[in-house]
Each structure stands twice: as C-alpha cells, then as structure tokens.
Chain A
Amino acid sequence: NAGVMQNPRHLVRRRGQEARLRCSPMKGHSHVYWYRQLPEEGLKFMVYLQKENIIDESGMPKERFSAEFPKEGPSILRIQQVVRGDSAAYFCASSPGGTIYFGEGSWLTVV
C-alpha cells in the first residue's frame, strides 16, 4: 500500500507565478489535509477536504490560495501570484478517519 504521494518534491517559482502542488492520498483514505511548515516553525493546518468537498479551510490565507480534491485524480493546492513569504514546505496528509499519515512534502521556493 503506497503512502501519501506528493509531487513535485521541490518547486521553484518566480514571484508572481503560480504554484500547483499535487497529492494522492493513501488507498482507501477519503480525508485529505494540507499543512504548511515555515522555516523553524511547526505545522500549520491549512485545509481539510473530502472528495469534491472542502470541509474546513479555516487555515487557508484568504487570497491567492485554493485547494480542491476532485472526484477523480489527486488533491491540488494552488497558489497564485506567489510571493517570497510563500516559500515553505507544504505537506499533504490523508486519513481514513483518526490517525493522519503524511506525505514527503513539497518544498516551494519563491525567487
């Protein structure tokens, strides 16, 4: 059973470009979460999704950030018009309900 798969692992974007991060949950997991980890900080919850539904986006910045988990395909975290402060590690996690399992992360660098 493959773990949570994230890609790309590393992404470099210039200021103003868009970043798209993809996440395939573990097989059988219907809950997907996105977290952001800033340098020297812990994990901050961003958004919780189930198939085709955003359940909780209370941790998402109000602008430029969006997430989806379509019926088919991976969950996508999209950051429009990236700024330097968006540079961080973005972790996807999935759960069948209860314990959360993390992917390896996507490291975004904005130059």
Chain B
Amino acid sequence: AQSVTQPDIHITVSEGASLELRCNYSYGATPYLFWYVQSPGQGLQLLLKYFSGDTLVQGIKGFEAEFKRSQSSFNLRKPSVHWSDAAEYFCAVGANRNMRFGAGTRLTVKP
C-alpha cells in the first residue's frame, strides 16, 4: 500500500533563504506525486505534480521538486523564500481514490 512520510513537522527559515521540504513515499509502481500548499483556514492549492518524464518539476510560486526514484523521494525546493510562503505543505502520492497525503510540514518564515 502506498504511503507518504514528511519527516519534518515544522521548519523555520529566514526570508530570502533557500528552502527544502522533504517527502518520502512508498508505492508499488511509478508514482504520481504532488505537492499542495494550505494557508490557514483555506483549502489545498496544487503547487506541482509529477506523472512521468523530466524528474525536475517546476511549479507555481517559484517552487520546484525533484523525483528521485532511488531514494523514493520527492523533495520540494525554493531558492528564496518569501514571507507569503508561510503555510502548511502537503506531499501526496497516488491518484484518485488511492491518493495518500503526508502529515504536512508547517513552514514559518522569519523576517
């Protein structure tokens, strides 16, 4: 059965610093992978997705993620964090009814 692990519950970075949020997955076949962002009191917005092809995926708001099959990882990165990036980030694997979400990583941005 597929599962997702986000090892970091909470991360704090300074504005302008780089960011990497970790995501490890367990999946029997080639996975569909997603990153979503959730601001307080809001729904989940899709940042980016990987289905196949180029393992480096570009998303909205300057985010990117890299699929590494050998490490079963799909880490989210951003070169320079903005204060508005403070939110909860969820990694997900699978599709449709079989989509599974990680527990989330809360990002705090220091001025």
Contacts and interface: CB of A to CB of B under 8 A. Distances in A.
Interface of A: 4, 6, 31, 33, 35, 41-45, 48, 55-56, 91, 95, 97-105, 107
B49 A41 contact: no
Given A42-B101, A42-B104, A43-B90, A104 B42 contact: yes
Contacts of B45: 102
B96 A41 contact: no
Contacts of B67: none
Contacts of B32: 98
26 contacts: A33-B97, A33-B99, A42-B90, A42-B101, A42-B102, A42-B103, A42-B104, A43-B90, A43-B101, A45-B100, A48-B96, A56-B97, A91-B44, A95-B96, A98-B32, A99-B34, A99-B49, A99-B95, A100-B96, A101-B46, A102-B36, A102-B43, A102-B44, A103-B43, A104-B42, A104-B43
